[in-house]
Every structure is written in C-alpha cells, then in structure tokens.
Amino acid sequence: MIEASKLTARQRAFLDKLLELYREHRGPVHYSDVAERLGVNRFSAYDMLKVLEKKGFASSSYTLRSSTPAAAGGHAGPGRSIIVFAPTPEAATALGDQPDESALGEDWQRVRELVLSKLAQARDASPRAALSDLLARLPHTDAPLNYCTEMIGALLLNMQRVKARAGGLSPFRVLDRLRADESTGLEALAGLSMGISLSDSEESGRTLTRRLLDHIHGYQVNLTRLSGEKREALVRFLEEALEALD
C-alpha cells in the first residue's frame, strides 16, 4: 500500500500539476510542461517526477515527439523519442489525503517556515550566516520537535558550507543513500554532517563545528522523546529541507 503521508508539500505541488496537465492534455505530459506551469527549472521537474515515480504516484514512458500534443512539447513531422509522465491511479487519492499537521501547533509551523526560508536563501548565498543564526536560537528552544527541526536546518547548512571541499563527493548524495531506511535517516544526518566538517581547516569553520557539536547530544536525546506522529512529521520536514536546498 502506498503511503500518501510520505509526500512533502513540494512533491504534492508537482503531483497536482502533473494531474492537472494530464487531464488537460488527455494523455502523458512532458516534464518541461510541468516545469513551465510551476515556474521551475525543467531538470528539477524531471528529478521530482522521477521521485514521484519511485514513490508510486507517477509513471514514465517513451513516445515519439511528433505523437505528443503541441502543448506537451510535440511538433509536426518525425522526431526522436522523449520521456513523458502520467499520474498513477493513486495520485488523486494522495492529493485528497493531506496529512493534518495542525495538531503539531502553530509554533512548530513558524519554526518550520523559518528554517526552510534560511535553507532557500543559502542556495544562492553563503550558508555561514544562516547557520550561525540557527545555532544562536538553539539554547532558547525547549520543545523537542522545534529543537530537532532547527537542528536539521543547522546540520544541512553545515553540509552546504563544507560541500565545496568534500573532494568531489556530494555529502547530500551520501545522505540520500543513508536515509533509504527512514527509521535511521534522522540519526544518519547528524553523523554525516559532523563527519565531513571535522577536517575543516578554517578557524571560523572549526568554531562553527564546535558550536554544532555542543548540540549533537541534545538532538539525539530529543529525537528519542518524539512520538511516532512527530517523528513522521520530522521525516517529511527533512525531505522538504533537502528540496529547499536543491
């Protein structure tokens, strides 16, 4: 059985547009149309649709470009084979089955949006300042879910900060493999983030690493205090956080 609750808000947005375009075209959709409708890079759209396919909410197939509607990137005359996507029967059900996170509180929603905004800003700027800001907030964060949410942001920003010196191996790609088992993905994030930064030779980098290390134990302890519902929300948040950095 496919679990719709495993979809992040961004994944739902892509699935919604895929379903919308599929109904408009009355057939499979080229990923560039999804990208145009959402105002994103077409390669990002392709990657997200492949994620949805892996989760069981979309399917891909190959077709001749000339056999697709003009709105879907087709043109008259013979052409090469292109990949198109269609929603699976589970897609509409998934979009109608939005997980209710209101019970987690408005305070957590504010923390979640704050961290996501800092991650998004770090895509085009130095993540050092954003990381320092989150670390400064942590001593004043008491609720376990809020603490873990801010720590996830700090750990990802730390990875973003040092990935340029990671010897060509993206730490985010390593994390993707480590979190294949969702029961251990949250713990794996802490170890990976700290491991890749311990060799940082810059004094300012070492200072940030030491500050982050001071909170690792608190992060691990607070993870054990989360209920199953809150832990699932945190797993979904980690997916959203990674997408914000993409």
Q: Would you give per-residue pLDDT tens digits along the chain (246 residues)?
A: 445 456 777 788 889 899 999 999 889 999 999 999 988 888 888 988 998 999 899 999 998 765 555 444 444 445 678 899 999 988 877 776 555 566 788 899 899 999 988 888 887 777 888 888 889 988 888 899 999 999 999 999 988 887 755 555 566 666 666 555 555 678 888 888 888 777 666 666 678 888 888 999 999 999 999 988 888 888 888 888 887 776
Whether 157 and 206 share a structural domain: yes
pLDDT at 184 (0 to 100): 63
Please report the pLDDT score of residue 236 as a whole number: 82
132 vs 115: CA distance, rounded Å = 12
pLDDT in the model for residue 182: 54
Number of domains the chain contains: 2
Is the domain of 88 the same as that of 130?
A: no
Domain match, 109 and 36 both: no
The alpha carbon torsion through 108, 113, 115, 120 (nearest 10 deg) reads: 160
Q: Distance between CA atoms of 45 and 32, rounded to whole angstroms?
A: 7
* Radius of gyration for the chain, computed over Cα atoms and rounded to the nearest angstrom: 20
Q: Among 58, 75, 95, identify where a domain stops.
A: 95
Torsion-angle region of residue 39: left (phi > 0), alpha (psi -120 to 50) or beta? Answer: left
* Structure confidence at residue 75 (pLDDT): 41
Domain final residue, candidates 95, 127, 149: 95
**Residue 119's pLDDT is what?**
87
Residues near 180 by Cβ (< 8 Å), separated by ≥ 6?
Answer: none
Specify the pTM: 0.64
Q: Are residues 126 and 168 in the same domain?
A: yes
In whole angstroms, give the CA distance from residue 203 to residue 51: 39
- Shared-domain flag, residues 131 and 50: no
Domain containing 161 equals: 104-245
pLDDT at 142 (0 to 100): 85
Q: Where are the beta strands (DSSP E) in the chain?
A: 29-30, 58-64, 81-87
* Calpha distance 161→129 (Å, rounded): 10
Q: Which phi and psi angles does 176 have, rounded to 5°?
A: -60, -40
User: Which pLDDT score, from 0 to 100, does residue 72 have?
Assistant: 47
